[in-house]
């Protein structure tokens, strides 16, 4: 499994300097989610990985809701950079 194949490029120095920032954490969680989903496409019955994926999704969701409450401008920038579309229908 290739670890760095899904990493989108974020060009802000502020995020690179502060690994504790919400944006950096969401960025890392997004990369982990992409890696786990590609893993689960091959190994559908890996229930441990499914549980880990659900935990990471919940952490990312909590961080994004925190950021949307604290600073909506940073939230919108992050969503646009990571191309996350939460209002997309699932059908």
* 11-42 residue pLDDT tens: 445 545 688 899 999 999 999 999 999 999 99
For residue 91, pLDDT beyond 70: no
Looking at the structure of the chain, the number of domains it has is: 1
Residue 86 DSSP class: T
Asked if 27 contacts 82 with a C-beta cutoff of 8 angstroms, the reply is: yes
Domain contains 59: yes
Average pLDDT of the segment spanning 51-61? 96
Residue 12 in tokens: 């802000």
Residue 47 has, within 13 A of its CA and on its CB side, a CA count of: 0
At 9 the three-state DSSP class reads coil
For residue 81, pLDDT beyond 80: yes
Residue 55 is part of a domain; what is its CATH number? 1.10.287.10
Those residues whose C-beta lies under 8 Å from the C-beta of residue 24, and which sit 6 or more positions away, are 15, 16, 18
Q: Does residue 10 or residue 52 have the better pLDDT?
A: 52
Domain that holds residue 58: 21-82
Domain contains 5: no
């Amino acid at each position: 499994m290739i670890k760095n194949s899904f990493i989108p490029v974020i060009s802000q120095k502020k995020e690179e300097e502060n690994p504790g920032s919400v944006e950096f954490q969401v960025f890392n969680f997004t990369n982990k989610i992409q890696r786990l989903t590609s893993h689960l496409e091959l190994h559908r019955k890996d229930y441990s990985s499914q549980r880990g994926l659900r935990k990471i999704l919940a952490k990312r969701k909590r961080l994004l809701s925190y950021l949307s409450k604290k600073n909506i401008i940073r939230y919108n920038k992050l969503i646009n950079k990571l191309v996350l579309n939460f209002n997309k229908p699932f059908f």
